[in-house]
Structure 1
Amino acid sequence: MSEPLRVGIAGLGTVGAAVARILTNKSNSLLHRCGRPIAITGVSARDRDRDRGVDLSGAEWFDSPVALAKSDKIDVFVELIGGENGAALDGIRAALESGRHVVTANKALLARHGVEMALAAEERGLILNYEAAVAGGVPVIKTMRESLAANDVGRVYGILNGTANYILTRMEQDEISFEECLADAQRLGYAEADPTFDIEGFDTAHKLSILTSLAFGTQVAIDEIYVEGISNISLSDIHAARELGYRIKLLGVAQRTATGIEQRVHPTMVPLGSVIAQVDSVTNAVAIEADTVGSLLLSGPGAGGDATASAVIGDIADIAKSRPGHQEAPVFGRPAEELEPYQRAEISTHAGGYFIRMTVHDRIGVFASLAGHMAENGISLASIVQHGSPNGEENAMKNVVLVTHETTESHIRAALDAVLADGHLVSKPQVIRIEPAG
């Protein structure tokens, strides 16, 4: 029998404990599939005494993740600590310097240090796998890194955060406010006590930066992403979108343009009839548009212990099946030293349709002003919907919803600045981009 692949797990939280449990319970199945045993020979976590539902007595305990990473008792360092710096980064660096393969689920670390880690791994002929870092149990990394080698990708986009998708789904289905949905998500464990990272789009941005590098062969550029969250989405927006044939989703979108690569995260209108509009609750989905294969949509559980552990173990199994001394696919699909510098396309040049909801004073001249400023900026309107004054009162307020044909972000902003200067707006207008979706 072949020598076992010796695994060290740093971090025994929900995901780490699930990885240890599944590796133990499915050892025979993995042996047959990988051609060699997989053994947990080292672990590191804060609390030795916590019951994790799996017997780890056969593994050596390390108080320091770095000590585990350097140990000659492991072949693979599995980092499930989290965080872009600190113990996670120190552990991965130590593992690569010590000649250990690495598996991680850490999107924040890869978004910040991914190119450095890729160079270190490839220089040493080591494998760095990270399937669980994006979309949990959905195999999007392997698909983009290996299966689409014959394709040039034009656009990749998706629902990459289950918390935000759960909130938007509940708002529409149950007719409840953003604040109520967020409180419910926190109660159910879908949202953290401080949900900023999820609802303001930063988690999605980390994941998108990784997909962008895989799609376009560029260096990871987390600081070059335009980010908006969903905290300003109201039931009025949900209702107006549905009335116009759309659904609101928080999307991460990356696409190649004539001026560079667009990376953007923001609430987006997608057609009700599109497949991605049907992706509800905590489910994730990634759509890939490429020249050879056409369009793909991968969907599934984006979080949770077992779903994420499934992706981690898939990465470990790939290492178990690899030939000793033979590096598999480059970390980001092409050698890290050949990744191109990222060239950002300014969001002001983004072209597409827009949804605009405005609360205006109900008085003579408002609509002439709106139409005039749109026309002055070359904006063609696809539809306009207005809701009358409440209780028929004069000089009250009314909601006006505009949907534009394709135009640019700069033209939209210029038109709205002019409308604001005219004094017709009661409050800041809501602007949501419309994304073509299959």
Structure 2
Amino acid sequence: MFKYYSIILFLLCTTLVQAQSFNEKDVEPKQDSLKKRKLVKSLGNGYLPSKYFDADLRYLIKYNQYEGVRTGIGLVTNEAFSDKYRLNSYVVYGFRDHRFKYSLGGGIRLAEQTNTWLNLSYTDDLQETGSTKFLTDKRFFQFFEPRLLNINLFHKHITKSIALEHELSHKWIAETELSTSKIDPTYAYAFNVKEDSYKNFDITSAKIALQWSPFNSITTSQNKTKVTTEGYPKFSFQYTKSFNNVLGGDFNFSKLDFRTLCNIGNKKNAFSELTLVSGLAFGEIPLTHLYHAYPNNITKEKILQRFSVAGLNSFETMFFNEFFSDRFTTIQLKHYLKPFNISKSYQPQMVLITRYAIGDMKYPERHQNITFGSLEKGYTESGFELNKLLFGFGLSFTYRYGAYHLPSIDDNIALKFTFNITL
């Protein structure tokens, strides 16, 4: 597995060195400098631009426990192609499961002033069991996704969706979606409800999501308004309703999800980040659509056998598939100390971290052929990171304590790499 780490990290470091070289050539003509800044910005957002289509770098290469190496290509149209229509697609291949996955999608802009788009998509891919995504999340790109390396619990899904996204204002974003999904877990699992047992099933659901950014700074130029400074806190809300006997749906259930992000202080000096995530699910809801607490620890006996890469907002000492909940709350606090000013180009930074999770499940007996625990007693871990020691790499130490402290001291410790770069 470490050879795949090496391949991925080599590609990341190469990209970083190239991106940094753009910033070092200050003697270039102004026009060339602007082009290079634009290219660096595109790379930072995960795109390699061309005339009409941009390559989506999210699908270039990844690794997980089920697919092994996952590689492919994604393409999206840009404004040179059209400012009223857009197309997006990707195709990837998993070398361990020997299977292609793909998605086809497109959209039409209904109103320019409110940035209103009607989108359609068809996706045949995998999704991590217990994960939840907010519709209103902006595109989020990481050169390296640490948690993905160790995830082994996925479900296949074939999803058809129609969605409407709309800016109520530059502080309020809304999106709605109607979708149908055929779900097939890749692991031995049965969902028992109403004297029936389901090994695979269909989900028909409607979602509505809102994102509120009350402290964004906004400017207007040439009759166009844009956000110039991201303000905090930010709030995200999402409601999901699944329907039985509608477009083939098997279950009735509802989910309420909430998240708030808060930054306190100046990022150039010492500052703090607070992330609160909460979810509530009720009804006939299978494990695939319940909640985990973003664990990131491999089930191995020794500390060094569990040595991997720390995530951005994951519980580093919590083992994968250790807990699932139908109601949960997590709180994560990070305090970034002022960077050590060793030199202009070398400034490591220490981050102090505390995480807490609490949750429960009402009907654990419904979920067969899988063993997991409850978070009803409250889960706590704390530690620190020492980031940007060399080429964006650092070290992380985390300790598990409290109600879920394990008998063996070694099992409560997570020692990992960190990886942080900024373009």
TM-score (norm 2): 0.23
Bigger radius of gyration: 1
More helix by percentage: 1
More strand by percentage: 2
TM-score (norm 1): 0.22
